[in-house]
Amino acid sequence: MYALEVEHLKKVYPNFTLGPLTFSVEEGQIAGLIGRNGAGKSTTLKSIMRLISSEGVVRVFGKDFSREEGAAKELIGYVGGGFRFYPDRPLSAVARAVSRFYPHWDEKAFQRYAEEYSLILSKKVRELSEGMKIKFSLALALSHGAKLLLLDEPTSGLDPLSREDFCDTLLALKGQGVTVLFSTHITSDLMRVADRIVYLSGGALLADEPLDALLKRYRVKRFSSRSDADMVWAIGVKAVKDGFEGLVMVPSDGREATLDEIMIHLEYAQKEGV
């Protein structure tokens, strides 16, 4: 079953158009939403949540978002990169306020997640580190029964140990059957946890596939000249120390490409109109 289905999602701004995008995330998967700054990642997540007006169809566990918005939102936890609301309120008070919006709020579950995430409920929001704000947001989302987490740059500004802790948390949630779609620039986090990649470039969908399949498709190859690269139809060729470098399709020879390298060379190809 698909946890999230997005069909022909489109948002038009004066200087930027997102989509139309069509992609899906299977139940129990962790999907990474990637792309350079301004590619449309935040716009995509906000459009899915109907935080901004947009065209297209969104289904959450089969529920049409436009027709069953309340029921769909019950199943979603949206985290926009840390918790920035009610900075002077204790966590317990914030949780009580949030619980009123969700008929299926489970206070016992919230207390369990608070303990699991080492949240001190008497602390004020502003006293939390960025990592703990994310954990607090996750505890709130999971306590109203969210089965799909939409996370917008959740690890931005976190130190490496906090990011590792966050990745461990996602894997634990996956083990409980929770589905995750999260945007990030930190591809090492995706290599740790992601099953699938949704790759945006300039508002368009460049890739939507399993991470393993994307990594197995390409090799990185060095060339002594640009003409040598062009002869084998290398993708996104750019100058590097001692020559040129580009992506080649398997089964061509070359070394395995990292996710960073795939993004860089595909972006160069887009810039050149290839």
- The pLDDT of residue 203: 96
Q: Is the pLDDT of residue 75 over 60?
A: yes
Compute the average pLDDT of residues 197-210.
96
Q: Is the pLDDT of residue 22 over 90?
A: yes
Between CA 124 and CA 260 the distance in angstroms is 38
Please name which of 200, 164, 190, 210 lies closest in space to residue 260, comparing C-alpha atoms.
190
The average confidence (pLDDT) of the chain is 92
Q: How confident is the model at residue 55 (pLDDT cuts 50, 70, 90)?
A: very high
Determine how many CB atoms are found less than 10 A away from the CB of residue 149.
23
* Contact partners, residue 47, CB within 8 Å, separation at least 6: 9, 11, 18, 54, 56, 58
Compute the average pLDDT of residues 1-25.
96
* Contact partners, residue 13, CB within 8 Å, separation at least 6: none
- The pLDDT of residue 81: 60
- The pLDDT of residue 264: 94
Compute the average pLDDT of residues 195-209.
96
Compute the average pLDDT of residues 14-39.
96
What percent of the chain shows pLDDT beyond 90?
Answer: 75
**CB distance 27 to 148 below 8 Å:** no
- The pLDDT of residue 141: 86
Domains in the chain: boundaries? 2-202, 213-271
Q: Is the pLDDT of residue 181 over 70?
A: yes
> SS3 for 195?
coil
User: Phi first, then psi: what are they for 145, rounded to 5°?
Assistant: 85, 20
Q: Is the pLDDT of residue 101 over 90?
A: no
Determine how many CB atoms are found less than 10 A away from the CB of residue 127.
13
Compute the average pLDDT of residues 5-14.
97
Overall fold of domain 2-202: Rossmann fold (3.40.50)
pLDDT tens string 220-255: 999 999 999 999 999 999 999 989 999 999 998 999
- The pLDDT of residue 68: 94
Q: Is the pLDDT of residue 211 over 90?
A: yes
- The pLDDT of residue 274: 54
Compute the average pLDDT of residues 201-210.
95
Please name which of 68, 116, 62, 124 lies closest in space to residue 93, comparing C-alpha atoms.
124
Between CA 39 and CA 203 the distance in angstroms is 5
DSSP 8-class letter at 98: H
Q: Is the pLDDT of residue 87 over 90?
A: no
Q: How confident is the model at residue 155 (pLDDT cuts 50, 70, 90)?
A: confident
Please report, as a single letter, which amino acid is at residue 117. Y
Compute the average pLDDT of residues 169-176.
92
